[in-house]
Structure 1
């Protein structure tokens, strides 16, 4: 499924959302994002660019199949609420807030830049990416400390592996989607549609939505994030050796 998602990467061509254009030096978007995090809100953040073909595909699909899209977002909330209905005491140590009742219904929020060449080079987007890296680092660190006695060393190892993951152009591009639950990172997805931009169907929405819904309902999502980073690290090592 992940191969079906197309990414405008750093080395190639290159619902309820509020959009505005900010300058490269502005940190307005990040300040807004951080406010949501501090308020422990739940949302799906779409990050894109005005001239990104696959971003346009996503927006056109969302617009042309609005009823379908709105239904998927509702399902995201309902399916999670059903999954955790029997949980009386959520794990206070969960890094993804799994088991907690949602402080608000998940909705789609949008941050866009004008040019895809600006992706993750502007102040606001770099800060959002650094926030994501910090969240993943903390999750991975807990796993590494099972075999590494020093927290300092485990933290450095976790951050290095996480940075290496996002330095890979296949893992970072536009469009990008961040799933946040009660102020904590749940998952992220990159890309939308097929290899060739243009054309949008309800099927594309289903393909895009499935991993997002799976992550939302996954009671071992932290393990899924760890596997995602570690598998990428193994692939890079194998590639270097080849």
Structure 2
């Protein structure tokens, strides 16, 4: 994965320590996102809206993973440390990978509860976040032109950086990718007591596998 690149040289990233749900503001969402990135945290940023029906259904699944839409829940930690399918200790040991799993088990959620789903990406924080994602995607090694230059034909529009719910995955301060639509919807219902939406977390955060939507 490619180390985080700044959107603009004038942006200064400052440290952060605790993930919290931020009061309604047009700038704080992106500022807190930057702080967590600079702090080398592992987290998911969920761009959501109180006006979005799919987002409300999605909230229920996120609550199983993150208490108060912030820190890892005990259910989530149990799945990652003792579950048969998502056991990170077992995965790393069996594959001979020397990995500090604390950052995965204790990952956090940055949840943006905007009131108007149509204005999320036109707000100043949404524009900054969209520019940041665009910069990361343009600078992926596989997206660079043969001469190593950035492909300017890659835009927020071609990438589909719009709408809610929208999820951005960050692993130890490094950009993994983004995903649109209800979290874990591709996995379906699953067995009772299981959390099939963890498939997306496992694939992106643990395995680091990604195919950028729209590319």
**What TM-score comes out, normalization by structure 2 length?**
0.66
**CA distance 1:18–1:193, change in 2 (3 Å):** closer
Instruction: Note if 1:184 corresponds to 2:177.
Output: no
Superposed CA deviations along residues 73-115 of structure 1, whole A, max 9, x for unmatched, are 6545774454445335xxxxxxxxxx67655721222112111
Q: Retained in 1: the 8 A contact 2:184–2:197?
A: no
Q: Which residue of 1 aligns with 2:55?
A: 55
Q: Retained in 2: the 8 A contact 1:44–1:108?
A: yes
| Alignment partners' CA distance in 2, 1:184 and 1:165 | 22
Superposed CA deviations along residues 48-87 of structure 1, whole A, max 9, x for unmatched, are 11111111111244458989x7523654577445444533
| Alignment partners' CA distance in 2, 1:118 and 1:203 | 37
Q: Judging by fraction of residues, say which structure has more helix.
A: 1
Matches within 5 A, 1:1-242: 18-22=21-25, 26-63=26-63, 70-72=74-76, 75-76=79-80, 79-80=87-88, 82-85=90-93, 86-88=96-98, 103=103, 105-139=106-140, 142-143=141-142, 148=146, 150-151=147-148, 154-155=149-150, 157=151, 159-161=152-154, 163-166=156-159, 168=160, 172-192=162-182, 206-218=195-207, 221=209, 224-225=210-211, 228=212, 232-233=214-215
More contact order relative to length (CA 8 Å, sep ≥ 6): 1
Q: Retained in 2: the 8 A contact 1:58–1:192?
A: yes
CA-CA distance at 1:202 after TM superposition: 7.0
| Alignment partners' CA distance in 2, 1:102 and 1:64 | 19
Dislocated runs of 4+, deviation >6 Å? 64-67, 201-205
| Alignment partners' CA distance in 2, 1:108 and 1:74 | 17
Whose radius of gyration is greater, 1 or 2?
1
Indicate the SS of the match to 1:20: coil
Q: What CA RMSD, in Å, does the superposition of the two structures yield over aligned residues?
A: 3.7
Unpaired runs of 5+ residues, structure 2, are 1-18, 68-72
Unpaired runs of 5+ residues, structure 1, are 1-15, 89-98, 196-200, 234-242
Equivalenced residues, count:
182
**What TM-score comes out, normalization by structure 1 length?**
0.60
Superposed CA deviations along residues 121-175 of structure 1, whole A, max 9, x for unmatched, are 1111111122112112211xx2255x71x22xx31x2x52353432x4xx63211
